[in-house]
Amino acid sequence: MSIVNRRDLLQGGAGVALLAALDASLLGEAVAQEQPKRGGTLAYAQLSANRRSAGPNNSKHPYFIVDANTKQIWSTPTWVNPELGLELEIATKLEPADDSLKVWDMTLREGVMFHDMTEMTAADAVASFDYHRQNAPFARQITKVEQTGKYTVRFTLEAGNAEFGYVLAEYNSPIMKAAPLETIGLDGIGTGAFKIVQSDPNRLMILERFESYWRKGLPHLDRIEIHNREGQQESALNGLRSGQFDAVMNIDGRAALQFQNDPNFEIETARGGYSFVIQMPKHPGSPFLDKRVRQAFAYAIDREAIVRVAYSGRFGWIGNDSHLMVTDAAFVPRAGGRDVAKAKQLLAEAGHPNGINLGTLYWSPQLPEAGRYFQVLQQSVKDAGITLAIEERPNDGYIQFRTGDNDLSKGNFHKFAMTAVGSRNPGISLFRMRAAFVESGHWRGPEHDKYLALYNQAMITPDAAKRKAIYAEMQAILHEEVPAILPAGGNTLMVKRKHMRNMPYHPQIWSIRYEEIWRA
Amino acid sequence: MLIAALRRVLLSVITLVMLAVFIFIATEIMPGDALDVSLSADEIAMIPPERLAKMKQDLGLDRPAHERLLAFLNGAITLDFGKTLISKTPVSAIIGYPLRNSLILAGAVLLIAIPLALAIGIAAAFWKGRAVDHLVSTGSIIGYSIPEFVIGTILVMLFAVAWPIFPATITASTRDPALTLLASSPLAVATVLIGSIAYLARLLRTGMVDALASDFVERLRLTGIPEWRIVFLHALPAAVVPSLTALALYAASLVSGIVVVELVFAYPGLGQELVRGVTRREVHVVQAIALCSAAVVVALNLLADLAILMLDPRTRRA
Amino acid sequence: MVQPASEPIIRCSGLSIGYVDGIGATTRVVDHVSFLLEPGHSIGIVGESGSGKSTLARALLGYLRGGGRFLGGQLEIDGVEVTSAATASIRALRGLRVAMVPQNPLASLTYHIPVGRQVEEVLRARRGLLRLEAEQRTVALFSEMGLPDPEIIGRRFAHQLSGGQRQRVVIAAALACDPALLVLDEPTTALDKTTEAQVLELVQRLRSQRGTALVLVTHDLNVVADTCERVIVMKDGCIVEQGPVTTVFRRPSVDYTKTLLDASLDLTGDAPSANTLADVLVNAEKLSFSYGTGGWFKRPQRQARPTLDRVDLALGRGEVLGVIGESGSGKTTLGLILAGLLASDQGALALEGHSIAMVAGKRRPEMRRRIQMVFQDPLSSLNPRQTVLAAVMRPLRLFFGLNRNAAREKAASLLSDLGLGPEYLDRYPRQLSGGQQQRVAIARAFAAEPDVLICDEITSALDASVAGQVLEELNAMRRRHGTSVILITHDLAVIWRMASRVMVLKDGIVIEAGSTGDVFAAPKDPYTAALLSSATRVKRLNEEPTPSSLINEIAHVA
């Protein structure tokens, strides 16, 4: 079992120096030399919110506050770093009990205090995960969670999962103070670096430093004010310009560019935030039943042009037709790039020497650049003789529209459509291309079966390097079979004032380390 | 007069019930349901279909419409609009403060706008066709026709960014006291105020011009009654009466409809909550807000009607 | 020529008044007018609408409506030259020295203030009386005006009073400060004849008691005949004739005055003779109508009695039946029911003995064709976007299926019968004068070749001279076509001239009916008698010289 344990490594005396050297190499000389200052407030606005509107009675529950803020107040057993690697957080050890990878033992850090100054123990973790496994989709694979010692917990899963550690880093995996299922979490008490002093549902949350935070010497900030500006980017940016906010999270790339030449501001991006998947229906009579048409489509798309036009060349990346983000260590780029000639040849072989009409590709404005994105896509495939119409549909009811109920007898197959996908670990991302899921276009056949067999094998392969090799093999299948196309993705970004230091962005917005941020 | 007043009250109640039914039907036919938008696509990917169906059942989304209508009407009477579908919060707790805040903003605006608009409207009508009148007419057309978000954005650029004396976005909490809220919202108040004064001044000018052109004003002038008595004691009530219904509708639109200003300044009012309710498919929230807005409209109309009953004795025949 | 006993209260010489419109053009509405009025004397100003008489009346108080300008001449009121005086000195005149009784007492009283308070306001603001004094004085004034229960009336609002009471309140407000000159602008137009007589009596009495000089502006020569010593006849802003009432009315020196006098009822001629009703064309029984009292969603209308109450009517072939009544008598409702535009609540309607449906929509087209109606206001009954040709052609094509050319020819001939040349065919209603519009409406009605034509006050919006012509042409048309006409009007002179039989409506009930000659010669009902009496005052001047008219023989300096 070999999960990188960076923090443990750095706990010793030599660790600090090493960390400084590491930071210096990552962040550059000038910043690294500055000593973090203690105190001050960070006020920021966030434009994205999860959809679980809180009310006054549950506004302190981790499930009902904006996911991006959970880890300021609560700690999770593990943490996903900006390279999407897994690290231990409040757990000091996480190991499978056997090779089936169905049973995992976790050891918790000792001496971690809740905000009410009681010590966190395995009982709290068991109560918390009992709640999570019944309420959070990603934790549903946990069939049993039991206390095995004061600080040790055992998870039993429904099937082996080599990447179970990622589940424990989800925003819906915080450790709350033990309480009955009905009331757990409502007190808003966690072990995080900040504690809640005021919570105004859907609008405002004010946090203050927790003096007994388990990471000694942290946090640097005294106070954080989080302003929800969901759907109100202009108001958020006005607040940034007027100095009311120090940062705005999840800003649209075009809006961010107006700050790029202002010396007071910095644009922070996290590579590989999200992507778009084009689901290609494979019902009888669909042109997409023919692998060569799918391949031709994949070769014909000018992915560089999409990054250039829709992402200003800076805030996007080229996808590889899997759900993996470019940031992921397991990500394998498609070989060859764009090849119009090959696309034409494939179409000719498939019986479309004069080009092919693929019908209408539907999209919804889930992200501001979607319109430009699909216009570029539509134009670029014309070079290979592929024509398609693009049609915008409202976000309202889009999922139902896009997926249909798959009742072929009623002609209700899912649409030729796109949707946005988020950043997750390979185990989750690659699973999305299974036949039973709409995003694969209900891809079937021996290659699919091989793909799924590889996936199942990876899930019970403890060795990360071996898993990575399996993942590469799976992506090779996708590059050949092209069950779905993920042409390009975007980076998440924020604009902040320069005086906020050590505040890098993260592909998973909920994994930003706020306790390390300081104010100059 | 009492009978006339009671008749109007009863009519208002009937109107409100009909509106409630209409609101229910209108919100029922919205596409999608709460589940689709309350869960992210990433999460839905992890949930088996049979479990999704079970969740819909738990939320009561599969109950027949007439059952839900009765529950809605029953709840509306007791101000119990049910709970939100996902977070299970009472809807009344969610919209209570936003409603209060919308009333505060509308109230503050009207409190300033009505006296100013009265003064401006009277002056313009009294000196009709003169420079004052032209100034007022031009100004009010400009003030009323520029969209609020343009006015708001200009005010922010001038007084919050270029010359930072006021906050650009409102950081006060939903539950802050009225004065704290207003003190942190000067530009939002100013934005609404510009449009309000422009609209109301035009309204009152028109009413006043008509009143001053009436036969009774001519008779009073021919009798040598001092002009101030004519304007304030005779013409003013006659100018206000026909404007009252429009004024009530305008006031109601301020309570329920300053969505644009709320978005530009992030004012914690009812409009924001409505937008959120619609995007999140929180049907109960949308229904409750629509009903509250309707109630405000009906109530203000009723007030206007009762005020007209007081001011115009001709309407008292019942 | 007798030298006036004192300084005249009005000295008007060469006075011209105009209105300036938005683009600076001036329209002259009073043109070189000169006259004098001594204190305590009375003068009537008569003329049709647009003659400038109302502008002149207001000018007597130094008041011009918006855009008005004095263009020349002098106007001295009680020694103040109002064309050039300072605002303050003109204001000092108003209410105290000169007062005005406006045309429409309902609109002229502030609707939201009790009437008593409005009179008190005059006393307090103009006379400086204290509240209590003003209250007592108001009550006294009200009783002097003959208002019953003056204290109670004073607490009422204008709309709660009857027309006569309102007029008395307005007169009380005008007389509150004992002015030397009282200007009355159409004081009786809004009143029914019975009330009119009482109000005129009151004015006469007050004038004799208080010695107030009087200027009475009206279109009704009968009112002047009763009330004034002298009369001024105005046309297009000019005085065409002035002199003592008896002189002017007995021996008018200009044609215009004669035209005005002709329009008044003159019983000396013969009414059209009435045949016995041998050939009954239309027979109606027990026609009744009540307006609904409204439900929860309608403003309730208190309907104490039906608008029309069991009216029987028979119309002979080729006959003209006059229906007389004042506003509110139900005469228009009767017309609408006969035309099928309202349904009678009960009763029956028959044409040539065959029962026909109450509502036009349920009548056969042939029945609809045979009954046509012409309304008071032609502009609202003609489609403003339709040419004259289109309007007249519609019934021709609808009922007779004429092709376009034939229909055009027929329309042109109908119009020419009414004195309109073919050049009018392609005009729009708005481009026509009131008289021309009404001719088009009549032509359209005759285009359907009806058996029955219902005419509802078709001349009341027209000036007397035009009205005379239109009635002549209508008479000729109906003779030629053999059409039966139901002539609804409040004007007895029209009935006298046109109708062989007449029925008098009051409060929805027929109170008298018979041949016109009989009814006018010997009215059985006192209401009919009152109508006749007030309509014949001009003519009676010829018969019974009154003392006042003798005084008028004294010549005045013009």
What's the pLDDT at A92?
94
Check residue A514 and report its DSSP letter. Answer: G
Does residue A267 sit in helix, strand or coil? strand
Q: Give the mean pLDDT of chain C.
A: 84
pLDDT score at C548: 44
More confident residue, C2 or C83: C83
Instruction: Return all residues near A323 (Cβ < 8 A) that are at least 6 apart.
Output: A275, A277, A421, A424, A429, A430, A432, A433, A439, A486
- Characterize the bridge pairing of strands C42-46 and C230-235: parallel
**Is pLDDT at B65 greater than 80 in this prediction?**
no
* pLDDT level of residue A24 (50, 70, 90 thresholds): very low
pLDDT at C326 (0 to 100): 78
C94 with B221: Cβ contact below 8 A: yes
Task: Give per-residue pLDDT as tens, C462-490.
Answer: 777 788 888 889 989 998 888 999 999 88
C392 backbone dihedrals φ, ψ, rounded to 5°: -75, -30
B316 touches chain A (CB under 8 A): no
In order of A294, A322, A474, B110, the CA distances from A478 in angstroms are: 11, 7, 6, 64
Q: At what angle do helices B236-257 and B186-212 cross, to 10 degrees?
A: 150
> Is pLDDT at C136 greater than 90 in this prediction?
yes
Predicted model pTM: 0.74
For chain A positions 396-455, those within 8 Å of chain B (CB to CB) are 396-397, 399-400, 419-422, 424, 432, 437, 439
Of B7, B226, B311, which is closest to C125 when you measure between CB atoms?
A: B226
Q: How far apart are CA A479 and CA A290, in angstroms?
A: 15
How far is the CA of B102 from the CAs of B72, B156, B292, in angstroms?
Answer: 24, 21, 11
Minimal Cβ distance to C110: which of B7, B10, B216: B216
A18, A26 Cβ separation under 8 angstroms: no
Q: B123 CA to chain C: closest CA distance, Å? A: 17
* DSSP β-ladder status, A484-485 and A223-228: unpaired
Is residue B200 within 8 A of residue B119, CB to CB? The reply is no
pLDDT of residue B62: 67
Q: How far is B77 from chain C (nearest CA, A)?
A: 23
pLDDT band at B211 (very low <50, low <70, confident <90, very high): very high
Q: Is C482 exposed, middle or buried (0-12, 13-18, 19+ CB in 10 A)?
A: exposed
Residue C540: what pLDDT?
A: 65
The percent of residues in chain C predicted with pLDDT above 90, rounded, is 22
Mean pLDDT to the nearest integer, C166-191:
87
- In 3D, which of C513, C496, C465 has the Cα closest to residue C265? C496
B284 to chain A, any CB pair closer than 8 A? The answer is no
Domains of chain C: 280-294+302-535 (3.40.50.300)
Is the pLDDT confidence value at A26 over 60?
no
Average pLDDT for C104-126: 91
- Sorting pLDDT into bands at 50, 70 and 90, what band is B29? low
- For A80, left (φ over 0), alpha (ψ -120 to 50), or beta? beta
Take residue A463 and report the two structure tokens written for it. 């060795």
pLDDT at C554 over 70: no
Query: With b meaning 16 or more CB within 10 Å and e meaning fewer, what string describes A283-316?
Result: eeebbbebbbbbbbbbbbbbbbbbbebbbeeebb
Signed CA dihedral, B302, B306, B307, B312: sign only = positive
Picking from A473, A475, A463, the residue whose alpha carbon sits closest to that of residue A429 is A475
pLDDT digits (tens, 9 = 90+) for C19-29: 887 777 888 88
- The residues with which A318 forms a beta bridge, in sequence order, are A488
Report CA A149 to chain centroid distance, whole Å.
Answer: 33
A244/B169 touch (CB, cutoff 8 Å), yes or no = yes
Range in C152-166, C210-224, C430-444, C533-547 with the lowest mean pLDDT: C533-547
pLDDT at C305: 67
Least confident of B271-280, B304-313, C29-38: B271-280
According to the model, what pLDDT value does residue B69 have?
79
Q: What is the pLDDT of residue A392?
A: 86
Residue C424 DSSP symbol? G
* Interacting residues of A340 by C-beta distance below 8 A, sequence separation 6+: A299, A300, A383, A384
Helices (H), C228-374: 245-250, 255-262, 331-338, 365-370
A232: contact with B, CB 8 A cutoff: yes
| Chain B contact set for C102 (CB, 8 A) | 215, 218-219, 222
C-beta atoms of A231 and B279 within 8 A: yes
How many other CB atoms are there within 10 angstroms of residue B300's CB atom?
22
Quick one: tokens of B155?
A: 């005010």
Read off the pLDDT band of A195 (50, 70, 90).
Answer: very high
Given a contact cutoff of 8 angstroms between Cβ atoms, the answer to whether C499 and C484 are in contact is no
Angle between helices B186-212 and B131-145 (to 10 degrees): 130
Nearest chain B residue to A398 by CA distance is: B32
Q: Indicate where chain B has its CATH 1.10.3720.10 domain(s).
A: 96-279
Are B109 and B312 in contact, with CB atoms under 8 Å apart?
no
Cross-chain Cβ contact B87/A437 below 8 Å? no
Residue C271: the pLDDT is: 64
CA distance C330 to C328: 5
> What per-residue confidence (pLDDT) applies to A172?
87
What is d(CA A225, CA C557) in angstroms, rounded to the nearest whole number? 95
pLDDT tens track for B121-166: 999 999 988 899 999 999 988 988 888 889 999 999 999 988 889 9
B314:C111 CB<8 A: yes
User: Which whole number is the average pLDDT over C100-113?
Assistant: 89
Q: B75-117 pLDDT, tens per residue?
A: 778 777 777 766 677 888 888 889 999 999 999 999 999 999 9
Amino acid (one-letter) located at A24: A
By mean pLDDT, which of A496-500, B135-139, C116-120, C187-191 is the weakest?
Answer: C187-191
Chain B hits for C174, Cβ within 8 Å: 223
Strands A386-392 and A356-363: parallel
| B contacts of C95 (beta carbons < 8 Å) | 222-225
**Fold annotation for B96-279:** MetI-like fold (1.10.3720)
The DSSP secondary structure of B197-241, one letter per residue, reads HHHHHHHHHHHHHHHHTSHHHHHHHHTT--HHHIIIIIIHHHHHH
Q: Helices H, strands E: what count in chain C? A: 23, 20
Residues of chain B found within 8 Å of residue C63, distances taken between Cβ atoms: 218, 221-222
Statement: residue A39 has pLDDT above 50: yes
Query: Is residue A21 pLDDT above 70, yes or no?
Result: no
Q: Let me know: does B127 contact B136? Beta carbons within 8 Å.
A: no
The confidence score (pLDDT) of residue B286 equals 85
* B contacts of A399 (beta carbons < 8 Å): 32, 36, 41, 44
Residue A223: which H helix or E strand, with range? strand A223-228
> Which of A50, A203, A235 is closest, CB to CB, to B174?
A203
Residue A152 has pLDDT above 70, yes or no: yes
Complex ipTM: 0.81
A479-506 pLDDT tens trace: 999 999 999 999 988 999 999 998 988 8
Contact with chain B for residue A44, Cβ under 8 A: no
Contact (CB<8Å) B263/A235:
yes
What SS3 state is found at A294?
helix
| Residue closest to C183 by CA, chosen among C93, C249, C70, C86 | C93
Are the beta carbons of A430 and A471 closer than 8 angstroms?
yes
**Pairing of β A204-209 and β C26-37:** unpaired
| Alpha carbon separation from C177 to B226, C94, C182, C234 (Å, rounded) | 15, 10, 11, 30
* Amino acid at position C379, single letter: L
pLDDT at B135: 93
Cβ–Cβ < 8 Å for B194, B141: no
pLDDT at C329: 82
Alpha-carbon Rg for chain C, nearest whole angstrom, is: 26
CB A72 within 8 A of CB A194: yes
Percent of chain A with pLDDT over 90: 53
CB contact under 8 A, C95 and B225: yes
B38-50 confidence digits (pLDDT tens)? 444 555 555 566 6
pLDDT by residue (tens digit) across C35-70?
999 988 999 999 887 788 888 999 999 888 888 889
Judged by 3 or more CB pairs under 8 A, whether C touches A is no
Enter the tokens of residue A313: 């060349």
pLDDT greater than 60 at residue A259? yes
Predicted pLDDT at A23: 47
Mean per-residue pLDDT for C276-299? Answer: 70
Tell me how far apart the alpha carbons of residues C510 and C322 are, in angstroms, rounded to a whole number.
12
- Of chain B residues 199-258, which have a CB less than 8 A from chain A? none
The residues that bridge with C504 in the sheet, in sequence order, are C324, C512
Residue percentage of chain B with pLDDT more than 90? 32
So what's the pLDDT on residue B77? 80
Task: Tell me the pLDDT tens digit for each residue of C172-183.
Answer: 999 888 899 999
Structural contact between residues C36 and C4, judged by C-beta atoms closer than 8 angstroms: yes
| Distance, CA of A168 to CA of A425 (rounded, Å) | 12
Closest residue of C to B10, CA-based? C296
So what's the pLDDT on residue A308? 92
Computed over every residue of chain A, the mean pLDDT equals 86
Would the CA dihedral through C360, C366, C370, C376 be positive or negative?
positive
**Which tens digit of pLDDT belongs to each residue from C361-378?**
788 888 888 999 998 888
